[in-house]
Amino acid sequence: MCGGRSVGQSTCRVVARRDTCANSGDPQPFGTYEIRSRADGQVIGGVDFHGPADEEGSVTIGYGLVPSARGKGYASEALRALLLFARTRGVTRVKGDADLGNIASQHVMTAAGMLPAGEDERVRYFEIAWGVEHV
């Protein structure tokens, strides 16, 4: 079932995005998820895996919110849920990045438990890793 899969139980609900399913089939489970307001069910953003885990158990993530939902903790909450979702499915490392000037996005990743892992002239990289024995 694609449209009803949930990965979080807090203020926001993260569910599979129906248009991804319609266009490319159910990503099972490393696809794109909507962030919906628990109060009214409106879509306020999205989080996604950029693909399934690689041979080393690593995935890359992304997220975004509509402007009116920013600064309220929704992205960090959704990212924490996505990290837990990944970990329970055997992922051992999650990577993300944000432009150097995008302090808010960097804060989202650190608030969710990710750590800085380097930077270049444009981007700061973040990651979180778990040992196989802890999964």
CB-CB contact of 31 with 20 (8 Å): yes
Q: What is the pLDDT along the chain (135 residues), one digit of tens a residue?
A: 233 344 443 344 444 344 444 455 555 688 889 999 989 999 999 999 998 899 999 999 999 999 999 999 999 999 999 999 999 999 999 999 999 999 999 999 999 999 999 999 999 999 999 975 544
Q: Which helix (H) or strand (E) holds 121?
A: none
- Position 5 scores a pLDDT of 40
Which phi and psi (to 5°) does residue 60 adopt?
Answer: -115, 140
Provide the β-strand partners of residue 64. Answer: 46
- Position 29 scores a pLDDT of 86
